A and B are shown apart, each in its own frame.
Chain A
Amino acid sequence: MASLINVFLIVVLLTVLVPLGVLVMISLLPPGEWSIPPKSPILDNFVYVFKEFKFYRNMLNTFLFIGLAILISLILALPTAYAIARLQIKYYVWVFTVALVILVKSLPPGSLLVPVYELLWKLRLTNTALGVALSYQVYTLPFMIWILTSFLLDLPREVETAARIDGAGRFARLRHIIFPLSIPGIISAVILGFLNLWNEYLYSSIIVSSRNLQTAAVVLGQLVTSEYVYDWGVLASANIISVLPAIFFVSFVQKNISKAITGGIKG
């Protein structure tokens, strides 16, 4: 029976690996050829993407925007998460805040696109890094509050009580005790945040119009939607390059990934 299960799983594994393998093989195709597996594989595509296409610039942009967004979110989220998880606050205020977090987190970002864009346009922040980072708050802020609150709820209460007895007020506790102890939670939140946003397309494509400021995801999107794709090889290798950081991250935190995702699911 056990081996039957494993056989099933191997079949499922193949359904996952085959398309990925196809992607890899496409990236090795010379222009004009479409046979799988490629009859004369080349690595030039990767080189081209990197050197001439300057794809790394787009990837850097993505990094920058997401990093900025997460930083802003962390600063805003930590005190809020602390208040929700640990401080005594009036019940209806607590309910209101938590409900608000869930609401903004669950709304399809597309539904907020219009007002957000108009606001950024009026503030002349369209096409800027800050503008993108602010628009990303739709994704990152409720997410950060959510994950941090979940994490803080699990921290031992007694250590904080000890700090109170030692004379530490709220700010002191936040700074000396809560913050240092929540660093592991912050790290998984940051990693998850990156994974989440790396492939963001909707906001990134609307808010940024100049070519050299676009994120990796947007550039890839432009490539793939051109009516007649000739250079599949380039396309595929660009895709693979853009996925590498994510794969790198994931292999790092393999075991913690499920904990991190389910940590976000507690509730």
Chain B
Amino acid sequence: MSSKSFVEIINIHKSYGKLVVLEGVNFDIRKGEFIVILGPSGEGKTTLLNIIAGVIRPDKGKVIIDGQVVDDSSNIYIPPERRDVGYVFQNYALYPHMTALDNIAFPLKMKKLPRDEREQRVEKIAKLLKIDHVLHHKPSQLSGGQQQRVAVARAIVKEPKLLLMDEPFSNIDPALRASVRLELRLLLKSLGITTIMATHDQEEAMTLADRLLILRRGKPIQIGSPIEVYEKPSERFVAEFVGGMNILELKSEYSSLLREYRVEGEDASAKYIGFRPESIIISNEGLEAEVLEAEFKGDKWTIIAQIRSGEIIRFYNKDHVNTKSTVFIKPTKVYLFSSEGKTVKILTINK
């Protein structure tokens, strides 16, 4: 593995009895990167975070942090107390009987720092997170957003090697979510803290991540930057999960569409064809579709139409289109998928 890697996750497997929770997870993280583990709920993200943190042990594989093997699934195991990671739990897990100040200071207390140094560092971090005015309250007296910031403060006050976050924004008021996210990312980047965050919210993942790990049913599906994952999804699942895509079974009537594209021979393994809502234009030829609904989105309209073979297509259009009218739609960028769902070819219309 490259010596530039700060964290290495090597071939992690974890099962509970017959249930396989993680299988063959492999990736490297560079120092200072913000990595997001993206996947549907309950499919292994939290387990992976817990293994990296040391709360549970993998059945197979290795975890290396800053050059040190912290777990090799047999004899080498460094418990969480000594791994120097920070963790923000989904429901924060704040110490209910301590004030916010004591909560945040606790890791420093465990490091046996003297009291004034502790208080100094807590004040500093609390100011950065804008919670310095509630430090003397107990968690039950704080709002959800304040609790979250206390949890983050507690995780980073000890300047850990690695920060882990499990769906940290899921309990934040949706209206505030966007700004809270960006503020946090800015803060973490400015402090240079390597971060791994788990979420099922693809919009969140795309906004925050330097790189994404897409995890489905415990298996890593794709690793890459948001742009890579969006424009070059490795599988049908990724294409649908990130950004949304209309997918049709490839039938003979659509092969006429393919002739528009630079096609070097018919690709025999292609079973499905997909196109994103934003890659569709209304023209005077293409697929015939009847408009069912038009939803106003502010800067555009989402049109829901049904093509002759019965499938429902969603696409964006600048202007309104009357329902019940018939339009001809053409995709400008098309993805071909095999019967197992793997991406076979990505074709762009040649103008």
Q: Do chains A and B touch in the complex (CB under 8 A)?
A: yes
Q: Which residues of A contact B (CB under 8 A)?
A: 156, 158-159, 161-169, 172, 176-177, 180-181
Contact at A162–B110, with CB atoms within 8 Å?
Answer: no
Contact at B55–A161, with CB atoms within 8 Å?
Answer: yes
Number of residue pairs spanning A and B whose beta carbons lie under 8 angstroms apart: 55
Q: A159-B96, A163-B95, A165-B86 are in contact. List 6 more A-B contacts (CB 8 A).
A: A156-B93, A165-B55, A165-B83, A167-B110, A167-B111, A168-B81
Contact at B81–A159, with CB atoms within 8 Å?
Answer: no
B109 neighbours in A (Cβ, 8 Å): 176
Contact at B81–A162, with CB atoms within 8 Å?
Answer: no
Contact at A172–B110, with CB atoms within 8 Å?
Answer: yes
B262 neighbours in A (Cβ, 8 Å): none
A158 neighbours in B (Cβ, 8 Å): 89, 91, 93
B154 neighbours in A (Cβ, 8 Å): 162, 166
A165 neighbours in B (Cβ, 8 Å): 53, 55, 80-81, 83, 85-87
Quote the shortest CB–CB distance from B170 to chain A (angstroms). Answer: 15
Quote the shortest CB–CB distance from A88 to chain B (angstroms). Answer: 11
B82 touches A (CB below 8 Å): yes
B192 touches A (CB below 8 Å): no
Contact at B106–A176, with CB atoms within 8 Å?
Answer: yes
Known: A167-B82, A167-B111, A168-B110. A162 touches B55 (CB 8 A): no
Contact at A162–B79, with CB atoms within 8 Å?
Answer: no
| CB neighbors of A among B61-102 (8 A) | 79-83, 85-87, 89, 91, 93-97
Bound complex: CA of A168 vs CA of B103, how far in Å?
13
Contact at B96–A181, with CB atoms within 8 Å?
Answer: yes
Contact at A163–B106, with CB atoms within 8 Å?
Answer: yes
Residue of A nearest to B110 (CB): A167
Residue of B nearest to A167 (CB): B110
B87 neighbours in A (Cβ, 8 Å): 161-162, 165
Contact at B95–A161, with CB atoms within 8 Å?
Answer: no
Quote the shortest CB–CB distance from B168 to chain A (angstroms). Answer: 14
Bound complex: CA of A176 vs CA of B81, how far in Å?
15
Contact at A177–B86, with CB atoms within 8 Å?
Answer: no
Residue of B nearest to A180 (CB): B97
Contact at B89–A162, with CB atoms within 8 Å?
Answer: yes
Bound complex: CA of A163 vs CA of B97, how far in Å?
13
Q: Of B55, B81, B95, B97, which contacts A167 at CB under 8 A?
A: B81
Residue of A nearest to B102 (CB): A176
Bound complex: CA of A204 vs CA of B83, how far in Å?
53
A177 neighbours in B (Cβ, 8 Å): 95
Bound complex: CA of A181 vs CA of B95, how far in Å?
9
B39 touches A (CB below 8 Å): no
Q: Of B55, B89, B95, B97, which contacts A164 at CB under 8 A?
A: B55
Quote the shortest CB–CB distance from A161 to chain B (angstroms). Answer: 6
Contact at A159–B111, with CB atoms within 8 Å?
Answer: no
A163 neighbours in B (Cβ, 8 Å): 95, 106
B226 touches A (CB below 8 Å): no
Contact at B93–A166, with CB atoms within 8 Å?
Answer: no
Quote the shortest CB–CB distance from B207 to chain A (angstroms). Answer: 26
Bound complex: CA of A164 vs CA of B85, how far in Å?
10
A167 neighbours in B (Cβ, 8 Å): 81-82, 107, 110-111, 158
Contact at B97–A181, with CB atoms within 8 Å?
Answer: yes
A176 neighbours in B (Cβ, 8 Å): 106, 109
Known: A172-B110, A176-B106. A164 touches B93 (CB 8 A): no
Residue of B nearest to A158 (CB): B93
B93 neighbours in A (Cβ, 8 Å): 156, 158-159, 161-162
Bound complex: CA of A156 vs CA of B92, how far in Å?
12
Residue of B nearest to A183 (CB): B97
Quote the shortest CB–CB distance from B14 to chain A (angstroms). Answer: 17
Residue of A nearest to B84 (CB): A167
Contact at A166–B107, with CB atoms within 8 Å?
Answer: yes
Q: Can you spell out 15 A-B residue pairs with CB atoms less than 8 angstroms apart?
A: A158-B93, A159-B93, A159-B94, A159-B95, A161-B55, A162-B87, A164-B80, A165-B53, A165-B83, A166-B106, A167-B81, A167-B111, A168-B106, A176-B106, A181-B97
| CB neighbors of A among B154-210 (8 A) | 154, 158
